[in-house]
Chains A and B, each alone.
Chain A
Amino acid sequence: MLELVRDRLDNTLVSSIEPEVWERIRSMEAGQNEHGYDPFGFNPESLKYIVPLAVGLYRHYFRVEAYGIDQIPDRGRVLLISNHTGQIPLDGMMIATATLVEKRPPRMARSMMERWVPSIPFISTIFARCGQVVGTRDNARMLLHREGCILVFPEGARGINKTYDRAYELERFGRGFMRLALETKTPIVPVGVVGAEEQMPALYDVKPLAKLLGMPAFPITPTWPFLGPLGALPLPVKYRIYFGAPMEFEGDPDDEDRVVGAKVEQVRDAIRQLLARGLEEREGVFF
């Protein structure tokens, strides 16, 4: 009985995705073993639980436009380095969706999750099946050695939680990604996301409340918390995602912060240019 319900649900989910897109995704080459799982528990078949929602948001809610998707190499290791904005990490989801549905052959942009995520029931399993990996240095290294594609937000919480007065300014970048790229000789594709900044413009960040609730930030937006849970929905802004030309770096991964930092700065500049281009090209926040 339960099996039947489950099969029905699976079929409904699959049939809600365009057939040729789904075919490309499920037959994706991502280093799976003969049972369909990669060592991290990623299984392209399981993407059916998330792709319908993600594609819905991508096509109809945020009406994402992706430019330069072919800058991502078709195979081989690559790091996608992006700005991180909008209070809730939908930008990661949209970038991953772009690499799945726009790129041919599709690639799974894998992101590194917090170390406590595997202790949450269901989320732990779904995230792992959909290609998310616990964020340890060895895991990232192994993914790259297996010629994977990793999405990194070097601004981290600093970027996503910033208030609207600093919209489209880039916060300080972490250097870990550059050391990793140098060590594994991985090309870096800079990514600029324009639009996400307006999905939840934070006016104020109530830090004591955030601390009390154990959250990274407690943003006050024009709608949240005044409209209740409804106010926590992101506004239907239009996303523009720009992929820049791959950048290659050489050097000692254990070099001083100053040396590595200079290389990080080059990536940051590339992203800044992508953002400037995006801001210039767009005609409105919602169109």
Chain B
Amino acid sequence: MTRRSRRHRKQRVVITGIGGNLGRAVARRLHRHYEVVGIDRRTVRHMPKDIDIEQVDIRRRRVEDVFRRQDLDAVVHLNIMHDPRTRQDEHHQFNIVGTQKIFELSAENRVPKVIVLSSADVYGPDPRNDQFLTEESALMGGQNFEAIRDLIALDMFCNTFFWRHPEIETVILRPVHIVGSVNNAPSKYLRLEHPPTILGFDPMVQLIHVEDVVTAIEQALTPGIRGVFNIAGPSPVPLSLILKRLGRKPRPLPEPALKMMLKTAWTLKLSDWPVPELDHIKYICMVDDELAREKLGFEHEHDLEAILREVNKEPQPW
């Protein structure tokens, strides 16, 4: 056994954006079986000791050294910014240029696998949507919501790369709303004591536990896996049921009133909710994850109760 492990070195994985809550969760799971190198421009804390961290912006030259210094077996690209308050151009630059850089380096250094975390939000909520969207559905998320456009551009860029570099196994994961001890919009919304809802609308919603997304990423590392995968958790439930289970007291408001309030609050910097995100509590945007269950062998472990228990936990500060 010892001889074998000496002969086969541990596989080496780079995680970009390791400092985020999701990055940390991925790192904690992967470092047991892989040698993990993390890249983040933020200060990274609470990380297992055997993980090398490079604190650098992924657009910088120093990132190239990480790729050249050692043979890499995979890149998990999580360094995608979702901050509606950041200036649009900076946001776009960081996401697109950063991703492009990572892909270029991967191609140059023959990294056999690249995993990118996109989101089911790229399909966008819409009344005309199929109840469950497949991987082939059009990415319509940007029709009303500008801030999602760079995620769509990024997702499509990854698709192009997938075709241009058949020697590299590119995996694009599109999970539904990741909820739990993370700081994204859906988790923050569910943590509100009085979450506003739109009067007369109660869409079906899919949630997924952070750890299940980590599982999907881990499974995507399996050699031979490539392509686009929707990732969904337990079967969908109405938004009202989720809020009821969490013991929240929703404030239903007519849509125009809610829009006006949100617009004002946004302008005064009282809230960080972009108005078009309201569509997520109005229309459905659900995905069919059959492909992931079949090809990746993905299975969600955490049911709705477990996910909702996790929501109430504040994420660790970093």
Q: Indicate whether A39 sits within 8 Å of B130 (C-beta atoms), given known contacts A121-B198, A125-B200, A125-B201.
A: no
> Which of A33, A116, A124, A142 is close to B201, meaning CB atoms less than 8 Å apart?
A124
Which residues of A lie under 8 Å from residue B261 when comparing CB positions?
none
Contact B283–A118 (Cβ < 8 Å)? yes
Interface footprint category on B: 20 to 34
Decide if B127 touches A134 in the complex (CB within 8 Å).
yes
B131 touches A40 (CB 8 A): yes
B275 to chain A, nearest CB (A): 17
Instruction: State the Cβ distance, B124 to closest chain A Cβ, in Å.
Output: 14
Query: Is the pair B200, A122 in contact by a Cβ cutoff of 8 Å?
Result: yes
Q: How far is the CB of B108 from chain A (nearest CB, A)?
A: 41
- Pairs A–B under 8 Å by Cβ, sample size 11: A33-B235, A37-B235, A39-B236, A116-B128, A119-B127, A123-B200, A124-B201, A133-B131, A134-B127, A134-B130, A138-B130
**1/0 contact string of B219-238 vs chain A (CB within 8 Å):** 00000000000000011111
**B97 on interface, CB distance cutoff 8 Å:** no
Is the CB of B204 closer than 8 A to any CB of chain A? yes
Cβ distance A63 to chain B, nearest Cβ, rounded Å:
34
Report how far A118 CA is from B286 CA in the complex, Å.
Answer: 14
- In the bound complex, how far is the Cα of B290 from the Cα of A281, in angstroms? 51
Interface residues on chain A, number (Cβ under 8 Å): 24
| CB 8 Å contact bits of A33-63 with B (1 = contact, 0 = none) | 1010101110000000000000000000000
Is A118 a contact of B130 with CB atoms below 8 Å?
no
Q: Which of A41, A121, A136, A138 contacts B204 (CB 8 A)?
A: A41
Segment 38-65 of B: residues with Cβ below 8 Å from A = none
Q: Which residues of A pack against B, CB within 8 Å?
A: 33, 35, 37, 39-41, 115-125, 128, 133-134, 136, 138-139, 142
Q: How far is the CA of A118 from the CA of B201 in the complex (A)?
A: 9
* Contact (A115, B128) CB under 8 Å given A35-B237, A35-B304: yes
Residue of B199, B200, B254, B304 contacting most chain A CB atoms (<10 Å): B200
Q: Is B284 an interface residue (CB 8 A)?
A: yes
Is B255 among interface residues, defined by CB-CB distance under 8 A?
yes
Contact with A along B197-209 (1 / 0, CB 8 A): 0111111100000
Whether B81 sits at the interface, judged by CB under 8 Å, is no
| Interface residues in B151-209 (C-beta closer than 8 Å to A) | 198-204
Extra contacts, 10 of them, besides A39-B131, A117-B127 (Cβ < 8 A), are A39-B132, A39-B235, A39-B286, A41-B204, A118-B283, A121-B199, A125-B200, A128-B204, A134-B129, A138-B131
Interface contact A121-B200, CB-CB below 8 Å: yes
CB-based contact A134/B131 at 8 Å: yes
Chain A: CB-nearest residue to B235 = A33
For B254, what are the chain A residues with a Cβ–Cβ distance below 8 Å? 121
Question: Which residues does chain A contribute within 8 Å of B255, judged by CB atoms?
Answer: 121
Contact A142 B235 (CB under 8 A): no
CB distance from A21 to the nearest CB of B (A): 25
The distance from the CB of A116 to the nearest CB of chain B, in whole angstroms, is 6
Given known contacts A35-B241, A37-B241, A142-B132, A118 and B127 CB-to-CB distance under 8 angstroms: yes
**Chain A residues near B132 (CB, 8 Å)?**
39, 138, 142
Looking at the assembled complex, report how far the CB atom of A127 sits from the nearest CB atom of chain B, in whole angstroms: 11
B204 to A: closest C-beta gap in Å:
5
Known A-B contacts A121-B201, A125-B201; A134 and B128 likewise in contact (beta carbons under 8 Å) = yes
A142: B residues at CB distance < 8 A: 131-132
Q: How far is the CB of A172 from chain B (nearest CB, A)?
A: 25
B236-289 interface (Cβ within 8 A of A) = 236-238, 241, 254-255, 283-284, 286
